[in-house]
Each structure stands twice: as structure tokens, then as C-alpha cells.
Amino acid sequence: MQNDYRQMWSSLGLDLEAHDVLLDVLNKAYQDVFLSQKGRPESMSYFDFVISEVHGLRIKELLDAKKEGRPVIGSFCVFVPEELILAVDGISVGLCTGAEFAFVEAEKLLPRNTCALIKSAFGFKQGKVCPYLESSDMVVGENTCDGKKKSYEVLRDLVPNLYVMDLPQMKSDAGRDLLAAEYRRFLVELEKLSGRTVTVEKLQQAIRTINAKRKAVGRLARYRHANPAPISGLDALLINQVYFYDNPVRFTGSVEKINDELDTRIGSATGVCSADTPRLLVSGCPMAVPNWKVPSVVEKCGAVIVAEESCVGERGTRFLTRETGDSVDALVENIVDRYYQIDCAVFTPNPSRLDHIREMVKDSAADGVIHYNLQFCQPYQIETGGVEVALEEQGIPVLRLDTDYSSEDIGQLSTRVEAFIERILG
């Protein structure tokens, strides 16, 4: 791949030497983590291809679309509404945040105790190795946690078109009004950027397209409830990660193809593990490519992950947007209703997230919960205590893991996960 796209990467201003190092590490990690698994569904070959071309063919598609006048919108958060971007014939892509890269440069701009996700975003920019960021006509930041909110003041000097979206911090009438106003403001900016006017027909079609994508991953989530598990947690996570990069129609078709294969597997009781394998739910911070450390540790220790309560998982995809409405404003209100249900830890209070975790434990027949926190991610770290107490009182074992993107603590994580599994097995 590297030889075929070097001129493209150079035109984007990437540091080719550093980018080669990143791709070498990514490819080796993918081989070790994913391709070493046994019993993978055959349809995962599509997602293997996507990752092999994640900085190649997909970037070429984005650049070709830009030549046709389609804007590329890069973002960091599930609160950025894909439907509005697609309604102006734009392309929504997630930005690079899942690896420890150029942290020394990032820490020249940010405190060392900034969460790894934020430092990663800055590291990819400072290191000049994220073609998605460099391809974006607009980068959308969102005021979720304080770390992100303040970091955008610094990022504004590093990217040519940073758009910051305000978000409510409390679920209230005033909070919903704020979100509605912000989405309308965002729509105006998208129309200016694209030179296109959103119509009822365009917005309805965009809603249908994104709903179809969410329905496909929702079907996948339900199939993971089967015992034995028909797909590993790692492969399911990969699908949820690709959700943020791929063409939405192509992605939906590829997920439905694997869903059909999983349906057959379930019918024949074919799984990636035995029926008595400990089943775990991972809850907490999102895991962006190539953040595969914790799931890899968990499944190498002999458990299987059957659900993720995460923005890169069911929290980010489980709600649909109502498709009916006779005006753009009515459809925007539908979009606001949908996104306002997301129970991110930035909200206070946030009881619906705990309710969702309980519901997911029951539906997936999970034997325990791993609450995963990125170090210095205060919203999720603080919520961990309440989640742990509530679940343990119900007899649901909980393991709290605080980590970052480095590999230095893999041995310690493995020891703790092994002990947790022994506790579950009794």
C-alpha cells in the first residue's frame, strides 16, 4: 500500500517517514491481534481489507469526492450529526485518536496529565500522520468534557477550519433547546461550506441512510447475545470502528453480509469459543483505531466480549432518527430528539447510562462488566464508582481498568483480568 499512495500522502503534507513507521506498527498490530484469531467469520475479510487500505484507498475516495465538490467533515464525537452532513452531500469521517503518537510534541501544547484521546488527536496532527485530518474541509470539535473544550482553543491555530459545537451538560428543556440551536447553526455552516441547500427530500434520504447503518450494527449487537458467541469481541469492535470511516451504504451492506453469516452460525451453534466461556461487557470510554489493547488482553485471557457500552459501540448507535416530517425544521427536530438520548458521561446527573448498562448485561447474558477508563478522563472515571457499586449490589462482578494507549501495562492488565475471570468462574 505504501508505494502506491506516497504521492497522495505527500500532497496532503504528511511526514512520509513518520507515516511509514505508523503504518508498519498498525499492520503488525493488526496481524498479531486480529489475523491470529481462530474461527473468524469469512465475511470479516471485507473489514480486513478496509483496515489494509484505511490510509490508502479510502483517502483516495475522499480526495476524489472533494474534486466533485463534496465536503469532507472530520469529527471526534458521536454528537456530530451524520444526517446533516450527508444532506449537503458531505462525507463524515472520524479523526485519528487511538494511538500514542508524537506525544512529546503534543505535550508541548497540552499538560502531560491530559487524557490520552486528546493528546492522541494532537499527536497525529503534530506528527503529520493523519490523512483524514489533512483531507477534512472542516474539523468539528464539540464541547463535551472540559479537556476537549479547552484543547480546541489550542487546536484552532493548527487546523484551517475548526468549527466548535456547544453541547448541553444537563438533560433539561434548556439543554435540549441548546442542542437544537447548535444543530441549526451547524446546518447553516454546512450549507455555506458546500454551497448546497438542504431540502426535505435530501434530509429524509440522509436519515434513512444513517438509520440503515445503525440498524445493521444493532442486528450485529443482538447476534452477539447468542451462546456460544458467533463472533469475537475484537472483530465486533473492529466493525464498530470502521463505522466511522467507511462509505455508509457500502458499510451497511458489508455488515448485513456478516450478519447473515452469523445467523447461519447461530443456527448451527457454531461459535468462536465454547458455550461455557466467560462472557464480559466492556463499558466506558470509546476505543478508536488502533486502540485494541484491552479487548485483546481480555480475549487472550480466555473470556469473550459480548457487548460494548461505548460511543464506539451501542451508546453511539442504538437510537434511530424518526424519518417522517414535512419540513427541514421538523426533520432537524427529529435529529435533535435522537441525539439528545445519548447518555454520555458529560451529562449530570446521568442515571440512564447505568440503566442501559444493566439492560445490556441482561440482554447479552454477560457474567461481568469491565469498566474501561482512559487515564485522566474525569467524566468516566468519576462515574465508575457509582456503576461499580450499583452493579455489585445486584451481584454483577465489575473490574475497573484505568489505562492509556501504551503497551507498558499489558502484563499488569492481563494479571488483573485473569483474576477477574477466576472470580467469575468461582
pLDDT in tens, 378-407: 999 999 999 999 999 999 999 999 999 999
User: What nine digits make up the cell of 61?
Assistant: 475516495
- Mean pLDDT along residues 61-75: 98
pLDDT band at 15 (very low <50, low <70, confident <90, very high): very high
pLDDT band at 346 (very low <50, low <70, confident <90, very high): very high
**Per-residue model confidence (pLDDT) at position 25:** 93
Phi/psi class of residue 253: alpha, beta or left (left: φ > 0; alpha: ψ in -120 to 50)? alpha
Q: Which of 369, 240, 263, 244 is nearest to 314 (CA)?
A: 240
Residues 6+ apart with CB under 8 A from 285: 117, 310, 372, 373, 374, 377, 380
pLDDT at 2 over 60: no
pLDDT in tens, 190-242: 999 999 999 999 999 999 999 999 999 999 999 999 999 999 999 999 999 99
pLDDT in tens, 22-42: 999 999 999 999 999 999 999
- Mean of the per-residue pLDDT values of the chain: 97
Q: How far apart are CA 400 and CA 354, in angstroms?
A: 15
> Cα separations (Å) of 63 from 69, 121, 419?
10, 21, 48
> What single letter denotes the amino acid at residue 115?
C
pLDDT band at 66 (very low <50, low <70, confident <90, very high): very high
pLDDT in tens, 257-268: 999 999 999 999
Q: How far apart are CA 278 and CA 424, in angstroms?
A: 7
pLDDT in tens, 221-231: 999 999 999 99
**Per-residue model confidence (pLDDT) at position 184:** 98
pLDDT band at 294 (very low <50, low <70, confident <90, very high): very high
CB of 419 closer than 8 Å to CB of 390: no
> What single letter denotes the amino acid at residue 135?
S
pLDDT band at 4 (very low <50, low <70, confident <90, very high): confident
Residue span of the structural domain in which 61 resides: 1-426
Query: Considering its fold, how many domains does the chain have in total?
Result: 1
**Per-residue model confidence (pLDDT) at position 202:** 98
**Per-residue model confidence (pLDDT) at position 3:** 57
pLDDT in tens, 75-122: 999 999 999 999 999 999 999 999 999 999 999 999 999 999 999 999
